[in-house]
Amino acid sequence: MKYARFLSGGRALSGHLDGGRLIDAAGVAHDPARVQFRLPVDPPKVIALALNYHDHAGELGLTQPKEPALFWKPNTTLLPHGGTVIYPRGAQFMHYEVELGVIIGRDARRVKAKDAMGYVGGYTIGNDLVVRDYVTNTFRPPMRGKGWDTFGPLGPYYVTADEIADPHALRLTAHVNGELRQEGSTADMIFSIPELIEHISRFMTLQQGDVILTGTPKGISHVHPGDVMTLEVEGLGQLVNDIQEEDDLAEPITGQESREGEWDGR
C-alpha cells in the first residue's frame, strides 16, 4: 500500500493511493495533483550513508569504506514532495542524490542481519542534497555540506514493505528539468539493508519511524536556482522539488504541519 499525508481544503489528512486517487480515512477521494503533500513520516532521526555504491565512490575518486560510513541528516533538512529547496548563498557546487529511504517499522536493537527485514516498515524516496564545496574530509561527518535546511526531501509516499518484492533490485533515476542526470540500481549497494540494520542497531536503538538513507549511485551534477529535480525509485513514485535562491524566499519551507486524523505509520 502507498500511504501519504497531505493538506486539502485547509485540513491535514492522510490516505492511501487507489487508482491514482488519494482516499482519506473518511473515504473521500483527492487528486494528488491538487493537494499539498506533507512528509510521509515524522522520523525520530534520519541516518544517511556515504559511499554506499561502488560506482559513486569511484566517481569521487575515493576508496570504498570497509564498514558503513554513517552521518546524521538533521530533521531541519526534511522537506516534502513539492516543497522548495533553498540554494545557499555562495555555493559553488550543489547537487542532488537520489536514494532509497528505508523506514523502520518497529524498534530494533542488536538485530541480526538474517532477521533485519522483519523490522522494515516500508520505503520512501530521499534526496540527500549536498554542497560539495564543504565536503573536504570524508573521514568526518559532512554536516556542513549536507545539513542545510531543506536539504532532505522525502516522499511522496510511505510504501509498505509488502509492496516491494526485492528492495535490492530497484532502478533509481534523477532528472533535472526533464534531463536524465543519474541512473543506477540498488543492486549495486556495497552494504545491504540487513547489513545496515545489523550494524547500526549494535550501538543505537532504531526507533519506529526512523529513516535510513541508503546511499546514491554515480551521476552527480551541479544544480542551480530555478531547476526542478524529479527523483524516482522503482515502485515508489516520483519525488519532485524545485530550487530557489536563498534571498528569494522569505523563510524556509520545513514541511512541519499540524496533525489531524492521520495514519500513524504502523
What span, in angstroms and rounded, lies between the C-alpha atoms of 104 and 194? 12
**The pTM is what?**
0.90
The 3 state secondary structure assigned to the chain is: CEEEEEEECCEEEEEEEECCEEEECCCCEECHHHCEECCCCCCCCEEEEECCEHHHHHHCCCCCCCCCEEEECCHHHEEECCCEEEECCCCCCEECCEEEEEEECCCECCCCHHHHHHHEEEEEEEECCEEHHHCCCCCCCCHHHHCCCCCEEEEEEEEEHHHCCCCCCCEEEEEECCEEEEEEEHHHECCCHHHHHHHHHCCCCECCCCEEECCCCCCCCCCCCCCEEEEEECCCEEEEEEEEEHHHCCCCCCCCCCCCCCCCCC
What span, in angstroms and rounded, lies between the C-alpha atoms of 7 and 37? 6
Cell of 190: 556495497
- What mean pLDDT do residues 226-244 have? 98
Q: Domains (ranges, CATH) in the chain?
A: 1-37 (2.30.30.370), 39-248 (3.90.850.10)
pLDDT classification of 253: cutoffs 50, 70, 90: very low
**How far does CA 217 lie from the centroid of its chain?**
14
- What mean pLDDT do residues 143-148 have? 89
The continuous run of DSSP H or E covering 79 comes out as strand 78-80
- What mean pLDDT do residues 178-197 have? 97
Residue 142 confidence (pLDDT): 76
What span, in angstroms and rounded, lies between the C-alpha atoms of 248 and 118? 45
pLDDT at 76 exceeding the cut of 70: yes
Residue 133 confidence (pLDDT): 82
pLDDT, tens digit, 9 for 90 and up, residues 147-157:
999 999 999 99
Cell of 142: 559532512
Cell of 204: 543505537
Burial of residue 120 (number of CB atoms within 10 Å: 0-12, 13-18, 19+): buried
Residue 57 confidence (pLDDT): 64
User: Whose CA is closest to 95, among 247, 191, 216?
Assistant: 216
Q: Which residue has the higher pLDDT, 101 or 62?
A: 101
- Answer yes or no: are the C-beta atoms of 263 and 5 closer than 8 Å: yes
Residue 79 confidence (pLDDT): 98
Residue 255 confidence (pLDDT): 42
Please report where in the chains the cell 522539488 appears, as a residue: 241
Please give the mean pLDDT across all residues of the chain.
Answer: 90
User: Whose CA is closest to 71, among 143, 133, 6?
Assistant: 143
pLDDT, tens digit, 9 for 90 and up, residues 81-114:
999 999 998 899 999 999 999 999 999 999 999 9
Across the strands, what pairs with 229?
176, 241
End-to-end CA distance of the chain: 12
Residue 172 confidence (pLDDT): 98
pLDDT classification of 248: cutoffs 50, 70, 90: low
Residue 251 confidence (pLDDT): 53
